[in-house]
Chains A and B, each alone.
Chain A
Amino acid sequence: MTIYVKYDFSITCEIIIREQLDLLGVDYLLHGIGEIQIRKTLTDDQHMNLVTALKKYGIEILDDQKLALVQRIKNAVDDMLADERSQLQKISAYLSEKLNYSYAHLSNHFSEATHSSIENYLILRKVDHVKDLISNSDLTLTEIAHRLNYSSVAHLSGQFKKTTGITPTTFQNILKKRRLQKELVRNTPT
């Protein structure tokens, strides 16, 4: 015997979502397709539970929350770089203490959402800092290396070259020439 069914996906999804949110015991409002307003913020545990519960129905919570944690990780990395004392700590210890997750969790999460690792981000950010100091201050490379906790100028130059493909000195020259050229354009009568 064969029977035929007809179904309405949006009703199906709505019922599943309602059931799962009721299970969590949170207060919520469904705003049409795809948007759920939750009166209180979900704790990270509740969020994880909901993700797992919905996943088996093929329903995925969109990236906002994921991106929010990524942003928190980035902020923490920036804080760490700004604070000379915390730079003596390992990044993994610093982040897991500050954000209350295992480093493995943070690291997986970060890589999934940003296509690169926390370590890469840290280096990129650090090199960005070096670039800012090269372009906006009169500090020498030795002073910059010291200020950003590099063990030596060689270490700084090595990391800079590895990350950007050019040396700090070449970078400095390019910026100088860019400025000269801009002035030239500005002073050329048209």
Chain B
Amino acid sequence: MNIALADDDEDDRLFFQEAIEMVPIKTKLSLFNNGRELMDYLNLPNIVLPNLVFLDLNMPIKGGMQCLREIRANPSLREVSIAIYSTSSSEQDIEDTFVNGANIYINKPSSFLSLREAIEKVLQIKWQYHTSNLNRENFLLRI
């Protein structure tokens, strides 16, 4: 599966990269330093679209919420699943992202092990949605 991550914190990106490499599901990860880099990439012609995008909410230049709205307003990105990856655990933030079309909400875990587990769970379920006759409109997951 093709995965993208937009996060302005370098340590978080490295952490995420190490964790996803330890999950037995094969993935190809692309990293972006902020929302604008990600959106510029997604709007390029003839790219292989990521199956799943992880978005940090608080990023300079362009935040995760803005990316989420732009992705969901663009019909050619309809197939992309969106996971919000944030330190915020405010119920309001969580509900807002789901209402705006996010599929997954992950609170940034505090340990490497729980990050690895969270990513593995997300990828497993995403894989099932990818390959089975499940209703993608209703794909909501909170970890």
Contact B143 A116 (CB under 8 A): no
Q: Which residues of A contact B112 (CB under 8 A)?
A: none
- Provided the pairs A116-B128, A164-B141, A164-B142 are in contact, do residues A131 and B99 lie with their beta carbons within 8 angstroms? no
Which of B34-42, B57-65, B131-139 lies at the interface?
B131-139
Contact B140 A166 (CB under 8 A): yes
User: Which of B99, B128, B133, B137 is the one whose CB lies under 8 Å from A114?
Assistant: B128
Contact A174 B132 (CB under 8 A): no
Contact A174 B25 (CB under 8 A): no
Cβ distance B103 to chain A, nearest Cβ, rounded Å:
11
Q: Which residues of A contact B95 (CB under 8 A)?
A: 170, 173-174, 177
Q: Which residues of B contact A166 (CB under 8 A)?
A: 140, 142
Cβ distance B123 to chain A, nearest Cβ, rounded Å:
7
Interface of B is mostly: mixed
Q: Which residues of B contact A109 (CB under 8 A)?
A: none
Mark each residue of chain B from 23 to 49: 1 if its CB lies under 8 Å from any CB of chain A, else 0: 011000000000000000000000000
A177-B99 Cα distance, complex, nearest whole Å: 6
Cβ distance A3 to chain B, nearest Cβ, rounded Å:
40
Q: Which residues of A contact B25 (CB under 8 A)?
A: 115
**Which B residue's beta carbon lies closest to that of A125?**
B134
Mark each residue of chain B from 115 to 136: 1 if its CB lies under 8 Å from any CB of chain A, else 0: 0000000011101100111110
A124-B129 Cα distance, complex, nearest whole Å: 9
**Which B residue's beta carbon lies closest to that of A179?**
B99
Cβ distance B97 to chain A, nearest Cβ, rounded Å:
10
Contact B133 A120 (CB under 8 A): no
- Provided the pairs A115-B25, A121-B128, A174-B98 are in contact, do residues A128 and B143 lie with their beta carbons within 8 angstroms? no
Residues of B within 8 A of A (CB): 24-25, 95, 98-101, 105, 123-125, 127-128, 131-135, 137-138, 140-143
Known: A124-B134, A132-B138, A171-B140. 6 other contacts (CB 8 A): A114-B128, A115-B24, A116-B124, A128-B135, A128-B138, A132-B135
